[in-house]
Amino acid sequence: MTTATVTARPSAPVRHGPLPPGQEKREAPAIWWQTEEPREQVLERTLALPFTADSDANLRTRHRGLVKLLDWLEDQPGRTWQNRWGASGAEEAGREWTRLPMQWLAEHQRARKYDRADLCCGMIPLLGGQVVRPAYRWLLRQRPSQLLAHIRSVIDPDGFAALKDQYTATGHAGANDCNNALNRVTWIVASKGGTVHDVTIGDCIELQHAIGEHQTNGYHGKHLFYALLAGLGVFGPDAPARLKTVMLPGQLTPAALVDRQGITCTAIRDLLVDYLTERAVDVDYTTLEDMARTLAGLFWRDLEKHHPGIDSLRLDADTVTAWRERVRMVRDRHGTPIRPRVNAHTVFSWVRTFYQDLARWAADEPTRWGPWVAPCPVRDSDTDHSKNRARRKAAMDQRTRTLLPALPALVKAVEHQLKDAQTCLATGRETPAGAPFTTPSGENLLRRAGVSSRVYADDPATGRRRDLTVEEERAF
């Protein structure tokens, strides 16, 4: 069996406001004792955990599923169970992860018709016992109801019980909102390790960004879980009252704005930082961002890509001509032109202003700015807005002529969609839990049980749960 290199799982940088000391996001560790346990100890320890609904049938199913998962993982490269999980491809497969071990079982003549159910049940002790800690991209794509409740029952049950008490004490009502908040904290603990009281504000911000990336169920903006954690004192006395206040990205310094573009030439990088620092006192932050993106990215970084080693603002005619042509087109990540750049004149204007400012400032500070004075690569005609305005007006007029005949049909379709969504929601509210009902479009749904202000229904045809309340809100 191949041994993989032990490395911590990298996480993408997330911009946010300043955090109190010690509240930065935690990095997922590369090694912990549960993931290094031998197979027999994993089986003995995790199957003895006090999960909820521990009937004999559930115990047998979990045992079968865990054995199958461990057999499959043992055939993957890696020294620890976490290494093997990462190498298996399960996280990339998302909700369809079970097809990978099922394929392995079939190749080893061990396939059974109940393998999928066994594997899903076997994942409960694997996660509850912290043998593996999946990334958010996998966790957020699983059906959370039973899996996360089982995890909470064995990982810090006292901490999660305190969260439920905090929910009740703050006057909230509705099991759905409570479960949603508990699920978010469970995701953090399942992926990062530790207990409820180990969660940091940075962890909460990272989770919210992951939810926005990997889920589309309308719950991205729910921050109740943060309020409950803060109410328990998890973040300390200096914690912001609302998560949204720190999720708003802070303003970057000119140096950080330039460094985002990955400029190679240190001298030009330092020049751009100095230039933007001088201009920062005269422009707002949005304009400063645009200037940095243009000068450091669309101008200089583009030149470096096509002329490696370039280190002077004095450009020859061929270089200037080729750069101007590249700027006029928006390109994909492979460099293939996609469409004309509508704001090319703005790019040229910023570069022209940059060269003119250097020439003007050199008169007052020749030592600082003089070495960088060079002929401007942008012509007067490149910054002419009149042609762009004419093209934009022509495009808008043509769009109006094209879409105007379809407007009555569009309005009628939208009104019909809203009426159907309102009727479906009203019918769902009146239907008893578990009973079937028919939507205006002829779909047969089952009213989902549960105490919540929202109305849920199951679609037997697709197996999906539908939030009729969200559908009506979106239609409106």
Per residue in 308-344, pLDDT tens?
A: 999 999 999 999 999 999 999 998 877 788 888 888 8
> Is residue 108 within 8 Å of residue 64, measured between CB atoms?
no
Give the number of other Cβ atoms within 10 Å of residue 137's Cβ.
14
On the question of pLDDT at 99 being above 70, the answer is yes
Structure token pair of residue 134? 């999946």
Q: What is the pLDDT of residue 10?
A: 46
Q: What is the pLDDT of residue 388?
A: 67
> Is residue 42 within 8 Å of residue 81, measured between CB atoms?
yes
Q: What is the pLDDT of residue 359?
A: 96
Is residue 54 within a helix (H) or strand (E), and if so which, with residue range? none
On the question of pLDDT at 12 being above 60, the answer is no
Report percent pLDDT > 70 for the chain: 92
How far, in Å, are 63, 100, 137, 292, 327 from residue 289 at the CA level? 56, 45, 30, 5, 18
Is residue 458 within a helix (H) or strand (E), and if so which, with residue range? strand 456-459
Pick the more confident residue, 350 or 8.
350
- Round to whole Å and give the CA distance between 313 and 376: 9
> Is residue 430 within 8 Å of residue 446, measured between CB atoms?
no
Q: What is the pLDDT of residue 93?
A: 93
- Round to whole Å and give the CA distance between 473 and 63: 44
Pick the more confident residue, 178 or 476.
178
In 143-247, the DSSP E strands lie at none
Q: What is the pLDDT of residue 5?
A: 38
CA 140 to chain CA mean position, Å:
10
In sequence order, the 6+-apart residues with CB closer than 8 A to the CB of 311 are 265, 267, 268
Q: What is the pLDDT of residue 217?
A: 59
Give the number of other Cβ atoms within 10 Å of residue 64's Cβ.
18
On the question of pLDDT at 3 being above 50, the answer is no
- Round to whole Å and give the CA distance between 299 and 305: 10
Closest Cα to residue 375, out of 349, 352, 342, 397? 352
Pick the more confident residue, 124 or 402.
124
Sign of the dihedral defined by the CA atoms of residues 281, 285, 291, 297, in that order: positive
In 237-372, the DSSP E strands lie at 329-331, 337-340
Average the pLDDT over 375-383 and give the result.
86
Q: What is the pLDDT of residue 356?
A: 96
466 forms beta bridges with 457
| Crossing angle for the helix pair 344-364 and 266-279, to the nearest 10 degrees | 90
- Pick the range with the lowest mean pLDDT from 27-31, 53-57, 96-100, 437-441: 53-57
Structure token pair of residue 111? 């396939």
Q: What is the pLDDT of residue 8?
A: 44
- Return the DSSP state at 53: S
Tell me the pTM. 0.58
Q: Give the angle subtended at the CA of 466 by the CAs of 138 and 65, to the nearest 5°.
A: 40
Coil, strand or helix at 385: coil
On the question of pLDDT at 1 being above 60, the answer is no
User: Tokens 């079970």 — which residue?
Assistant: 98
On the question of pLDDT at 390 being above 80, the answer is no
Average the pLDDT over 441-458 and give the result.
82
How far, in Å, are 6, 81, 384 from residue 3 at the CA level? 9, 11, 61
Residue ranges of alpha helices (H) inside 155-293 are: 157-169, 175-192, 201-214, 224-231, 244-247, 254-259, 266-279, 285-292
Give the number of other Cβ atoms within 10 Å of residue 222's Cβ.
16
On the question of pLDDT at 11 being above 70, the answer is no
On the question of pLDDT at 6 being above 60, the answer is no
On the question of pLDDT at 435 being above 50, the answer is yes
Structure token pair of residue 411? 């309005």
Q: What is the pLDDT of residue 249?
A: 66
- Pick the range with the lowest mean pLDDT from 292-296, 313-317, 428-432: 428-432
- Residue 273's identity, in one-letter code, is V
Q: What is the pLDDT of residue 371?
A: 96
Give the number of other Cβ atoms within 10 Å of residue 275's Cβ.
21
Buried b (16+ CB within 10 A) or exposed e, 183-219: bbbbbbbbbbbbebeebbbbbbbbbbbbbeeeeeeee
> Is residue 234 within 8 Å of residue 196, measured between CB atoms?
yes
> Is residue 378 within 8 Å of residue 351, measured between CB atoms?
yes
Give the number of other Cβ atoms within 10 Å of residue 261's Cβ.
20
Q: Categorize the per-residue pLDDT at 452 as very low, low, confident or very high, splitting at 50, 70 and 90.
A: low
On the question of pLDDT at 168 being above 80, the answer is yes
Q: Mind listing the pLDDT tens digit for each residue in 352-368? A: 999 999 999 999 999 99
- Residue-averaged pLDDT of the chain: 89
Return the domain boundaries, the chain.
Answer: 22-134, 146-248, 254-390, 408-475
Closest Cα to residue 360, out of 349, 372, 348, 351? 372
Average the pLDDT over 116-128 and give the result.
96
Closest Cα to residue 244, out of 214, 223, 225? 223
Q: What is the pLDDT of residue 174?
A: 73
- Return the DSSP state at 251: P
- Return the DSSP state at 301: I
Q: What is the pLDDT of residue 451?
A: 60
Average the pLDDT over 430-443 and give the result.
89
Q: Categorize the per-residue pLDDT at 399 as very low, low, confident or very high, splitting at 50, 70 and 90.
A: confident
Average the pLDDT over 22-50 and give the result.
94
For the chain, what is the largest distance between any 2 Cα atoms, rounded to a whole number of angstroms? 87
Average the pLDDT over 267-294 and give the result.
95
Structure token pair of residue 458? 């199951």
> Is residue 431 within 8 Å of residue 437, measured between CB atoms?
yes
- Round to whole Å and give the CA distance between 91 and 8: 15
- Residue 162's identity, in one-letter code, is A
